Structure 1
Amino acid sequence: MKTISAEELDRLFDEGEEGVLQYFNLTTARRPNLEPVELTVTVMLGTKLRLERQAKELGVSVDSLLEDWLREKLDEASPSAAE
């Protein structure tokens, strides 16, 4: 793996240069805040049924649907809140 300064890497990336991955150790690279956590939400039965119907129509799980919708709302409210 080659070494490079953060400033130089930023410049190469911003300029759309190919091959920036050569500067990363992909066996240990991680993206922060992406580990799953459990969240319990209490909703009315009608809401649950509507969520299940919508998820089925889209071919996704209710969990995936809720995560996508929550992420969209957070991004609308404040893009940095999603990080």
Structure 2
Amino acid sequence: MSSKTIDAEAFDAAFDDGEDISAHVDWSTARRPGLEKRRVNIDFTDQMVRRLDIEAQRRGVTRQALIKMWIADRLDQAA
């Protein structure tokens, strides 16, 4: 999908006015600085995986989402 070209001033003004600026953005190259994902491997015992799966199912989320929520909560508490 190609994006329409406008200058930065017009882009900023459109954004500030709440206009839809999506036609002017090449989403295939968009980044979220500081929020790029990195893969991390962690080994768990079978029992831990089973317990994680039970808790994830109880909450209606995936195992990965549960682990990410718990780690984020702990990091927020430590800050």
Shift of 1:55: 0.6
Counterpart CA distance in 1 for 2:16 and 2:77 is 34
Aligned length: 61
Counterpart CA distance in 2 for 1:71 and 1:31 is 18
- In structure 2, do the counterparts of structure 1 residues 68 and 57 end up closer, same or farther at CA, with 3 Å as the change threshold? same
Q: TM-score, normalised by structure 1?
A: 0.57
Counterpart CA distance in 2 for 1:30 and 1:38 is 17
Q: Which runs of 4+ in 1 moved over 3 A?
A: 25-31
**Which ranges in structure 2 are unaligned for 5 or more consecutive residues?**
1-10
Per-residue CA distance 1:8-48 (angstroms, 9 max, x = gap): xxxxxxxxxxxxx518x773775322222211111111111
Q: TM-score, normalised by structure 2?
A: 0.60
Shift of 1:77: 0.3
Per-residue CA distance 1:45-72 (angstroms, 9 max, x = gap): 1111000111111111111110111011
Q: Share of identical aligned residues, percent?
A: 27
Q: Which residue of 2 aligns with 1:49?
A: 50
**Which ranges in structure 1 are unaligned for 5 or more consecutive residues?**
4-20, 79-83
Please give the root-mean-square deviation of Cα atoms over the aligned residues, in Å: 2.6
